[in-house]
Structure 1
Amino acid sequence: MRFLLPLLLVFSALLCLLPGCEPKEDLFTTDGSAKLAFSADTVLFDTVFAQVGTVSKRLWVYNRNARAVKVSEIRLSDTNPGTYSLLINGDETKAATDLEIRGKDSLLILVKAVLGPNAADNKPFLVDDQLLFNTNGNEQGVRLVAYGQNAYFHGPEEHIRRNTTWPKNRPHVIYGVVVVDAGVTLRIQPGTRIYSHAGSAMLVRGTLRINENTNPTAELAPTDTATFVRFQGDRLEAFYTDTPGQWAGIQFDASSSRNNLVRFTEIKNASFGLLIYNPLNGPHPKVTAENTILRNISGAALTFASGGQSFDGSGVLGFSGDFDLRNCLFTNCGEYAMLGYGGTYDVNYCTVANYTPQFRRNSASLSFTDKPVAQQTALPNTVRVSINNSIVWGSIRDELNFENGQLYRPNVVIRNSILRTEEYAGATDVGNKLGFDNNNNQIGPIDPNFPKFKSSPARSIGNKYDYRLDTLSPASNKGVFNPTIPRDLLNKPRSVTAPDLGAYERVNP
């Protein structure tokens, strides 16, 4: 016992030599040269709609020093008051004081922006600010920049009750559902941009007319912005550019929607593109789509409240509806490019290039059935399909499916088209097995490159694909001229003697 007290004194002295026994103020460096480091010198929000909150952007603040630092103040300079907000240690704030960052550690700050209306009514505007840090008397800053755009806002349950034209001078942003009432026509000017929030949709009980009087005289560029009307989600970050299912789509009501025309339009990132929902098989609504692109479509387990059924997504989705499709491109549709439960589908000069690199897809791109949607349907669910001068291709071996096709075989006509199919590769029908290797059709080989597009997931790496035809494409000069469709998707004149198959007339070498 007489040695215990001296040993305890020695042990206590040794403990005091460890870093943990230093006075707390000695743990922090007070050196004015001890600067912070940041994951970016600018936090950028690219194209934010006025009065709409942005996503949160992350800013990491690093202490590269061996010892801890005390950040005496973090604050917004508030050059544009009310625009930016911070989330620091779980608290939403515009400023924080005496924050400790241990040596070789970091702090995460989340930054959000909400832009108010700007005097530059129809033009993009810039709203900037600075996030300031004061450490040991040393002030550092990170720039905050948001590019804003005023817009017309629609929803959450907006009814268009009189004939209306949406102008192109500002973007249109849809929140919730916009309803075009029965007996009312909504017209959309060329070049208009429509952005839809998550779950938003357009429901047409009356009539939708897009680009109805637009007749370009020259060939259009693939990136044309003056003519094409574009529908997409309202998430404008690069990550969401090709992400499907960001909004619902455009639905045409069974009871009263008539004479709908969609021209020079791109519909992307939706759960469905164009939907006719007529489950009781009453009088058929009709949609004519010309020079239209439907891309990045997926809506697994869509549910329709009126019937309770669930369906997958599709570029064109018909429940006893009639579609007239000319010069249309379908691509990256995760379930179907075209799905028809009864109805009429007249397909001319269309390209189905349904490569789906984002999905594992097992369903044929073009699928049709005569099965009724609702058990209480009284009328027969007749299917009529006509495909001419078109390309039906994609990433699986069978891109055509006619369920119970032998029952409506006289109503199915396919001519002058390239088809990727093994199921229907015969020259004639044999029993219940249909055959379409006739009428100048080409049944493509297993080779996924067969149509020879200029670039596709089967031929190139990346996601910027071009579904115009390569110079050696077997679709070149294989069509039959249709005088009612003298120009292609981009308004290029078709050859009168030997036009190309699909939506695009071949690009000259």
Structure 2
Amino acid sequence: MRNYSYIFILLCIVLFSCRKDFDFESSTGNLGFSKDTVYLDTVFTNIGSSTYTLKVYNKSNRNISIPKLELEKGNNSKYRLMVDGIPGNVFENVEMLAKDSMYIFIEVTADAIDANPADFLYTDRILFGEGSQTQKVELVTLIQDAYFIYPQRTQNPDDTYTYESINLGVDINGDPIEIRGTVLDETDPINGNELHMTNNKPYVIYGYAVVPSNKTLIVDAGARVHFHAESGLIMANNASMQVNGTLSTTEDLENEVIFEGDRLEPDFSEVSGQWGTIWFTQGSTNINLKNLTIKNATVGLLVSGNDGTASPTITMNNVQIYNSSNVGLLARTGHIDATNVVINNSGQTSLACTFGGNYNFTHCTIANYWGTPNQNSLLIDDYDGNPTYALTQANFNNCLIYGTTNYSISLKKEGIDANFNYQFNNCLIKFNDFSNQFGSHPEYQFSGSKYANCLIATNSSTNKPDFKNGNKNQLMIGNDSAAKGMADFNFSTGTNDILGASRTNPSDIGAYNFIIFN
């Protein structure tokens, strides 16, 4: 029996050694590629890119061996390759079967000083083959220099690290609550004055950056601030913030201030929940936000209380908040005065005025096109009804409040009527009570005095806002909008819309004047 086994093995060796489909010929430069140039999207200096792919095709009827596959800059290249699951910069005798293909995975980590100083592009090539039959695929990446703000770390004896942290008080058990972060410094040895963010180059924040008490964070027009995962800004007690964006003249939003995540690839441009929040803690004061866009946070703005003065703690003009995985603007006992604010695409609620407070919203568009059945656009409550959480006022003048679900507003009153004061003037509100479950609810009597001259969208075809594209945060209203010409001009006099166009009489409900769509 053992002899038969030997004979079988010998026959297999002979047969397979004669099969030509396992012979590999040297490549003659006839490879095909999914692209002739791989553009790796913009990355920050010394921050690794996402992984990009190049597909290589053997279009011939022969098995081939690529004698050399390498980065032109070799081991000095800032690019990294993975071929057939093996990482490296230089590969030899890479085999491909006839009519087969393979993937090459590409990443890069480079410094701005590695890039061409004229255009900040860092380039290299992947070379396939040798000599006159060499084929090339270009690699191109834009490297952006930036100011990096991050917590310091200390190495422990066991080679672990202890990171700088921020104390947020104590929990119900008396234990300290700490998060990873750092305090912004006016004389940082690398970044200079971190409390004055300019438009010279972007800022990238890791962890939470704190504006300390009695200090003011100033953000210049055109500044870009990027947040890593689980990062954000915190205004301490008596800290202030002045965002000084101005109107832009091009689609590049060159004068707008933008807060967003640190993933710059197009695939991440509209992804929610990439970073934490901008947090105004109890006692922060004199907050002025102008021409600011906040994108892709967990909570766009978190407001914990007010400064206790008669003036608004937070003033907002021309502010846009998009793609918040939880809430766009979450205020608890806040004191906010807002004009031309646009909020959309929030996992729970776009605007939450909770725990009472004092609010004035004029010519705002509060929408929610998140696309699940449980979210709404506007939530107002007084928590448990305790007078401490009284809703002193919540005025909505010429506001457009709409979304994909039937009920765009939710009013939750636990205390007495005298402590729950709200008013909607000339607003367009979606409230499709198709089953009449709220017909006798006192807070939703739209013919009453609390809803003066309001338009109620009771179904999908009545009082439509005619947004350009709500799903894509394009909340300009068109010529067919029910909001056109229906605003109270007493609230519009002397104002411009969010794009800088003058409001004329009659004026339009919401943050935008109507336009004719192309």
User: What's the TM-score, normalizing by structure 2?
Assistant: 0.80
1:388: how far off? 0.9
CA distance in 2, matches of 1:243, 1:473: 29
Q: Deviations over 1:450-507 (max 9, x none)?
A: 33335225xxxxx656322222322122212326761111121112x42211101223
Out of 159, 174, 188, the residue aligned to residue 219 of structure 2 is 188
Taking structure 1 as reference, are residues 351 and 44 closer, same or farther at Cα in structure 2, changes over 3 Å only?
same
The one-letter code matched in structure 2 to 1:100 is E
CA distance in 2, matches of 1:31, 1:119: 35
Out of 395, 418, 426, the residue aligned to residue 416 of structure 1 is 426
2:184 maps to: 160
Taking structure 1 as reference, are residues 333 and 51 closer, same or farther at Cα in structure 2, changes over 3 Å only?
same
1:175: how far off? 2.0
CA distance in 2, matches of 1:185, 1:82: 43
CA distance in 1, matches of 2:320, 2:445: 29
2:59 maps to: 64
Alignment of 1:318-467 (within 5 A): 318-342=331-355, 343-356=357-370, 359-371=371-383, 380-383=388-391, 384-404=393-413, 407-408=416-417, 410-422=420-432, 430=440, 432-437=442-447, 438-447=451-460, 450-457=463-470, 464=472, 466-467=474-475
1:16: how far off? 6.9
1:174: how far off? 1.8
Taking structure 1 as reference, are residues 244 and 417 closer, same or farther at Cα in structure 2, changes over 3 Å only?
same
1:368: how far off? 2.0
The one-letter code matched in structure 1 to 2:328 is G
Taking structure 1 as reference, are residues 150 and 408 closer, same or farther at Cα in structure 2, changes over 3 Å only?
farther
Corresponding position: 1:54 with 2:64? no
Unaligned runs of 5+ residues in structure 1 are: 299-312, 458-462
1:252 maps to: 280
Counterpart secondary structure, 1:208: strand
On the 8 A contact 1:468/1:507 being kept in 2, the answer is yes
The one-letter code matched in structure 2 to 1:349 is H
Taking structure 1 as reference, are residues 48 and 80 closer, same or farther at Cα in structure 2, changes over 3 Å only?
farther
Q: How many percent identity over aligned positions?
A: 28
1:430: how far off? 4.7
| Equivalent residues, number | 468
The one-letter code matched in structure 2 to 1:348 is T
The one-letter code matched in structure 1 to 2:383 is K
CA distance in 2, matches of 1:222, 1:440: 36
1:315 maps to: 328
Out of 459, 473, 487, the residue aligned to residue 496 of structure 2 is 487
On the 8 A contact 1:341/1:372 being kept in 2, the answer is no
Taking structure 1 as reference, are residues 28 and 122 closer, same or farther at Cα in structure 2, changes over 3 Å only?
closer
Taking structure 1 as reference, are residues 494 and 29 closer, same or farther at Cα in structure 2, changes over 3 Å only?
same
1:287 maps to: 314
CA distance in 1, matches of 2:476, 2:129: 56
On the 8 A contact 1:453/1:466 being kept in 2, the answer is no
CA distance in 2, matches of 1:430, 1:9: 91
| Higher mean displacement: 416-425 or 196-205 | 416-425
CA distance in 2, matches of 1:158, 1:230: 21
Taking structure 1 as reference, are residues 121 and 259 closer, same or farther at Cα in structure 2, changes over 3 Å only?
farther
CA distance in 2, matches of 1:123, 1:443: 56
Counterpart secondary structure, 2:376: coil
Taking structure 1 as reference, are residues 452 and 434 closer, same or farther at Cα in structure 2, changes over 3 Å only?
closer
Counterpart secondary structure, 1:118: helix
Corresponding position: 1:21 with 2:54? no
CA distance in 1, matches of 2:480, 2:25: 71
The one-letter code matched in structure 2 to 1:395 is T
Taking structure 1 as reference, are residues 253 and 433 closer, same or farther at Cα in structure 2, changes over 3 Å only?
closer
The one-letter code matched in structure 2 to 1:369 is D
1:307 maps to: none
On the 8 A contact 1:293/1:329 being kept in 2, the answer is yes
Runs of 4+ more than 6 Å apart: 7-14, 119-123
1:344: how far off? 2.5
Out of 241, 253, 267, the residue aligned to residue 208 of structure 1 is 241
1:294: how far off? 1.0
1:204: how far off? 1.6
Taking structure 1 as reference, are residues 10 and 178 closer, same or farther at Cα in structure 2, changes over 3 Å only?
closer
1:37: how far off? 2.6
| Higher mean displacement: 29-38 or 439-448 | 29-38
CA distance in 1, matches of 2:296, 2:461: 25
On the 8 A contact 1:334/1:361 being kept in 2, the answer is no
Alignment of 1:127-138 (within 5 A): 127-134=122-129, 138=133
1:50: how far off? 1.7
1:328: how far off? 0.8
Taking structure 1 as reference, are residues 15 and 47 closer, same or farther at Cα in structure 2, changes over 3 Å only?
closer
Taking structure 1 as reference, are residues 33 and 368 closer, same or farther at Cα in structure 2, changes over 3 Å only?
same
CA distance in 1, matches of 2:446, 2:117: 53
What is the RMSD computed on CA atoms of the aligned residues?
Answer: 3.6
Corresponding position: 1:86 with 2:81? yes
Taking structure 1 as reference, are residues 121 and 251 closer, same or farther at Cα in structure 2, changes over 3 Å only?
farther
CA distance in 1, matches of 2:117, 2:79: 22
1:301 maps to: none
Taking structure 1 as reference, are residues 34 and 435 closer, same or farther at Cα in structure 2, changes over 3 Å only?
same
CA distance in 2, matches of 1:178, 1:271: 16
CA distance in 1, matches of 2:327, 2:6: 80
The one-letter code matched in structure 1 to 2:290 is R
1:399: how far off? 0.5
On the 8 A contact 1:123/1:149 being kept in 2, the answer is no
Counterpart secondary structure, 1:371: coil
Taking structure 1 as reference, are residues 105 and 258 closer, same or farther at Cα in structure 2, changes over 3 Å only?
same
1:443: how far off? 1.0
CA distance in 2, matches of 1:382, 1:189: 36
User: What's the TM-score, normalizing by structure 1?
Assistant: 0.81
On the 8 A contact 1:123/1:150 being kept in 2, the answer is no
Q: Deviations over 1:75-111 (max 9, x none)?
A: 2111893421122344432212233333343333221
CA distance in 2, matches of 1:361, 1:92: 45
1:470 maps to: 478
Taking structure 1 as reference, are residues 448 and 467 closer, same or farther at Cα in structure 2, changes over 3 Å only?
farther
On the 8 A contact 2:289/2:316 being kept in 1, the answer is yes
Counterpart secondary structure, 1:53: coil
Counterpart secondary structure, 2:182: strand
On the 8 A contact 1:394/1:448 being kept in 2, the answer is no
Taking structure 1 as reference, are residues 229 and 180 closer, same or farther at Cα in structure 2, changes over 3 Å only?
same
| Higher mean displacement: 97-106 or 197-206 | 97-106
Corresponding position: 1:268 with 2:295? yes
Counterpart secondary structure, 2:499: coil
On the 8 A contact 1:55/1:112 being kept in 2, the answer is yes
CA distance in 2, matches of 1:423, 1:367: 17
The one-letter code matched in structure 1 to 2:346 is C
Corresponding position: 1:113 with 2:140? no
On the 8 A contact 2:116/2:122 being kept in 1, the answer is no
On the 8 A contact 1:479/1:501 being kept in 2, the answer is yes
CA distance in 1, matches of 2:331, 2:250: 28
